[in-house]
């Protein structure tokens, strides 16, 4: 996938085989979500989901001081809040978008409000040691209505999540890692590099098997065992029909690295 600008505030490039990096590029506004950001991320999802050569996506913010400050309050105050989302993706063109491929958030600086909700929508998180996370909405008379109030209790211990929601307090990268919200803590300035390394580790695995496994894992907390057995069987059958399903065991027996086709 070639490097390109998906809007005037969202960039895409590929730093490694099968890995795409999407960058929110509004550092002067702390990468707050504008209409342009929402449109760019929505387009990024469309492109990466359709691109057979992209197996993992990393999402980050430019400038090093903020991953994303959430909604652009200037737009909200001007009565343009509806432009900060898309019909398919919801807020930021992302939080409601139905996707198959794994996304990794690479967080430098703070991810607050809607910015944290974007992080919570990703499948994995790499945070710089100086990163912070929070849902300050209740301290401003608002609600984290782009998924924060229900995704956070799924990812953190219930009481910790409720405290964060009810007080608007900030969570450090170290605390987030201790609670299992963050996969890896990186030195300041290196979150993207570490996230790309994690993406490359994912890309070494069969992409169809990863996607089908995620379809089950993403709904594991929302369904009964009986429902999950149905979802699991369907995912298993789709994966078993893929060419890579035979390549993996064959490569193991031949003592070589598998050559995944992604189909």
The residues annotated as belonging to the active site are 117, 137
Q: What is the maximal distance between C-alpha atoms in the chain?
A: 63
CA angle 105, 109, 115 (to 5 degrees): 55
132-134 and 170-172 strand pairing: antiparallel
Is there a contact between 128 and 109 (Cβ–Cβ < 8 Å)? yes
Q: In the numeric block, which tokens belong to residue 152?
A: 């956070």
Angle between helices 225-240 and 207-217 (to 10 degrees): 170
CA angle 16, 19, 21 (to 5 degrees): 100
Distance CA 117, CA 185 (A): 19
Burial class (CB in 10 A: 0-12, 13-18, 19+), 47: middle
Contact residues for 187 (Cβ-Cβ < 8 A; gap 6+): 128, 129
Distance CA 114, CA 160 (A): 19
Distance CA 59, CA 191 (A): 11
Secondary structure letter of residue 181 according to DSSP: S
């Amino acid at each position: 996938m070639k490097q390109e600008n998906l809007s005037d505030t969202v960039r895409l490039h590929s730093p490694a085989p099968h890995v795409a990096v999407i960058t929110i590029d509004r550092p002067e506004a702390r990468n707050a979500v504008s209409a342009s950001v929402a449109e760019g991320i929505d387009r990024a999802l469309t492109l990466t989901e359709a691109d057979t050569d992209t197996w993992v996506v990393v999402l980050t913010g430019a400038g090093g001081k903020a991953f994303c400050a959430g909604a652009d309050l200037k737009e909200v105050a001007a009565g343009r809040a509806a432009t900060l989302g898309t019909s398919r993706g919801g807020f930021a063109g992302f939080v409601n978008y139905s996707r198959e491929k794994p996304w990794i958030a690479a967080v430098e600086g703070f991810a607050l409000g809607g910015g944290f909700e974007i992080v919570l929508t990703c499948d994995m998180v790499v945070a710089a040691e100086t990163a912070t996370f929070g849902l300050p909405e209740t301290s401003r008379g608002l609600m984290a209505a782009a998924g924060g109030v229900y995704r956070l209790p799924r990812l953190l211990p219930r009481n910790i999540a409720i405290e964060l929601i009810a007080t608007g307090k900030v969570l450090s990268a170290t605390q987030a890692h201790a609670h299992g919200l963050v996969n890896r803590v990186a030195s300041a300035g290196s979150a993207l590099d570490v996230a790309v390394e994690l993406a490359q580790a994912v890309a070494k695995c069969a992409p169809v098997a990863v996607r089908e496994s995620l379809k089950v894992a993403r709904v594991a907390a929302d369904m009964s065992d009986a429902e999950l057995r149905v979802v699991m069987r369907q995912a298993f059958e789709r994966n078993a029909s893929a060419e890579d399903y035979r390549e993996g065991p064959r490569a193991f027996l031949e003592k070589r690295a598998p050559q995944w086709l992604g189909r």
